Amino acid sequence: MLLHLTIRNFAIIDALELDFNHGLTALTGETGAGKSILLGALGLVLGDRADIDSIKQDADHAEIAAEFDIQNNEAVSSWLVEQALNADDECILRRRISKDGRSRAYVNGTPVNLQIIRELGEMLIDIHGQHEHQSLMKPVVQRQLLDDYANHANLIEAVSNAFVQLKLVDEQLQHLEKSSHDRNNRLDLLRFQTQELDDLALEKNEYETLDQHHSRLAHAEKITSTVQQSLEQLHSNDDSNIQSNLSRIIASLENIAEVDGKLNPVVDLLQEALVQIDEAISQLNSYGDSLELNPAELESVEQRLQVILDLARKHRVEPASLSELHQQLSTELDDIDHADERLEELRQEYKALQQTYQNAAQALSSSRSKAAKKLNKAITSAMQTLGMSGGQFVIEITQNENQKRSAHGMDRIDFTVTANSGQACKTLSRVASGGELARISLAIQMITAAQARIPTLIFDEVDSGVGGGIAEIVGQHLRTLGKNNQVVCVTHLPQVASQAHNHIRVHKWSDKKQTSTAVDALSRQQRIEEIARMLSGVDITQQSLAHAEEMITRAEEL
């Protein structure tokens, strides 16, 4: 719900901070005091188009911020998480407009585009009257409201699941049918390619093994020469070799170590080195014996490697990936070979899913029709008490053109209404009077309050054209609605204002240099005085004060 509104340099407002509470809040004040300015500021922070003329004279920018408590609003919390804009249980919208025409929007301190803040705003506040934020104008909201009222979530889930499965199978079916046109050409190519790879008969890791073997064969002469030279210097040279020289050194040091034992560690190290040299000589001899110059084998390996490389280049893959490619092509070939069978299976599956979807959609449509009749009756009855005697509310349910399917069924939901007896019902968007539209919205909200998705409702001009007993009934309905929702009502009628749980008065002040708008949250006594003013005008009498207190007391007892 809306907790706090801050306005800076907007219209005739210098600086204003306003707290809001749960329940029904009445917003009153003289004509021209600035009530519409507050709604304009709120509309701006919710994503309305910016107008530099709304910036206060002599200021270079205007700024509006609105803070919301979203602790119990799972839909908004989830949306913020998806957009990476979450900040625990609070949500702060901020809008800044400058004289140079620039406009900036922020959600929880993060810059966002206007579409984002507008989408979020429509989830937080619903303004009823002649304003674009009225969600009831939107077909998707009308459908959701009817579905929530009907409480048939299981039917919607069944339709949605059938739709998703049907769409998936349809996509697979279209892909297979489309690919069937060039299937024969693809089939010939796949058979040729897989045959080449079959003939190659590449073993696991064969290319890597061959590459290493080829390197050894290609450098066999150099390797043999190097091994022989190493053995010559280590062991074979009778005149001087490392093994013999080291043995003589060890013998000499052993004799000296008998005189000075400090050399024993050195002797031990050299003896260990001699053992390592003996082992190296042994391994070099074994390695040398295994080496042989074999031009025929080298040629054979080179030919095999060349075949592998040529095929890899042909398929534009690395040689090591040929085995994986072989598997992929074989799988595709098998799929195409059995495509006709799969195509028939998909057609049968699609046909069965069509029927499943049709049955689920029809059950949903029937449930909607039953719920619509009850809702029509309840809202029409409520309209009679709101100064629209003879008015009628009708939910029209029609099938989408060409039986177009969706995850929500095949129904088109339209809320239609007439405020006067004998006139044809029209869609809500075509209702001309702002006051009538607000009262119709109130009637709808009263009946569907338990299903409300938007926590804060603002009614503007709801009391336009009504008075007396009907005005009191409007106020009572708003108070009832405020028990489960946060409701703000801009009103000129004391009968409506007296029903409020909270009361805010808007007024203008002037110091002869400038005029500005201010707001006050009224105490109970101040409420009595404000409602007395609304009853009697400029001259507040004891009678009007007594009447005002009686009206407030009567509302509190309801």
State the DSSP H helix or E strand holding residue 280, giving kind and residue range, or none if neither.
helix 264-290
The string of DSSP letters for 400-429 reads PGGG---TT-SEEEEEEEESSTTSPPEEGG
SS3 of residue 113 by DSSP = coil
Arithmetic mean of pLDDT, 534-553: 88
Arithmetic mean of pLDDT, 433-440: 74
Sheet strand arrangement including 392-399: 392-399, 411-418, 426-427
Distance, in Å, from the CA atom of 121 to the CA atom of 112, rounded to the nearest integer, reads 13
- Residue 553, pLDDT > 90, answer yes
Strands 2-10 and 456-460: unpaired
pLDDT at 235: 80
Distance, in Å, from the CA atom of 253 to the CA atom of 322, rounded to the nearest integer, reads 62
What's the pTM value of the predicted model, to 2 decimals?
Answer: 0.63
Whether 528 and 542 have beta carbons less than 8 Å apart is answered as no
pLDDT at 513: 73
The C-alpha angle 8, 62, 522, rounded to 5 degrees, equals 25
Of 77, 73, 74, 50, which Cα lies nearest the Cα of 63?
50
- Residue 509, pLDDT > 70, answer yes
pLDDT at 293: 61
pLDDT at 179: 66
Instruction: Quote the longest CA-to-CA distance of the chain.
Output: 138
pLDDT at 374: 94
pLDDT at 366: 95
SS3 of residue 248 by DSSP = helix
Task: Give the amino acid at 64.
Answer: I
- Residue 268, pLDDT > 70, answer yes
- Residue 502, pLDDT > 70, answer yes
Distance, in Å, from the CA atom of 60 to the CA atom of 101, rounded to the nearest integer, reads 10
The mean pLDDT of the chain is 85
pLDDT at 545: 92
pLDDT tens per residue, range 173-199: 887 777 666 676 677 788 888 888 888
pLDDT at 133: 54
Contact residues for 324 (Cβ-Cβ < 8 A; gap 6+): none
More confident residue, 536 or 182: 536
**φ, ψ (nearest 5 deg) of residue 16:** -145, 135
Return the minimum-mean-pLDDT range out of 18-32, 54-68, 70-84, 227-241. Answer: 227-241
- Percent of the chain with pLDDT strictly greater than 90: 32
Arithmetic mean of pLDDT, 257-270: 86
pLDDT tier at 134 (50, 70, 90 boundaries)? low
Of 146, 149, 148, which Cα lies nearest the Cα of 416?
146
pLDDT at 244: 83
What is each CA distance from 545 to 135, 493, 521, 549, in whole angstroms?
Answer: 39, 15, 19, 6
More confident residue, 286 or 288: 286
pLDDT at 68: 94
pLDDT tier at 156 (50, 70, 90 boundaries)? very high
Return the minimum-mean-pLDDT range out of 74-78, 330-334, 374-378. Answer: 330-334
- Residue 511, pLDDT > 80, answer no
**134-167: b (≥16 Cβ within 10 Å) or e:** bbbbeeebbbbbbbbbbebeebbebbbebbebbe
Structure tokens given for 116: 């984002």
pLDDT tier at 471 (50, 70, 90 boundaries)? confident
| Crossing angle of the two packed helices 242-257 and 264-290, in degrees rounded to 10 | 160
Contact residues for 464 (Cβ-Cβ < 8 A; gap 6+): 433, 434, 435, 436, 438
CB atoms within 10 A of CB 542: 8
Whether 515 and 508 have beta carbons less than 8 Å apart is answered as yes
Whether 415 and 102 have beta carbons less than 8 Å apart is answered as no
pLDDT tens per residue, range 65-98: 999 999 888 889 989 988 888 877 789 999 999 9
- Residue 132, pLDDT > 60, answer no
Structure tokens given for 204: 């696991």
pLDDT at 433: 65
Q: What DSSP character marks residue 131?
A: S
- Residue 349, pLDDT > 90, answer yes
Q: How many CA atoms lie within 13 A of 426 on its CB side?
A: 14
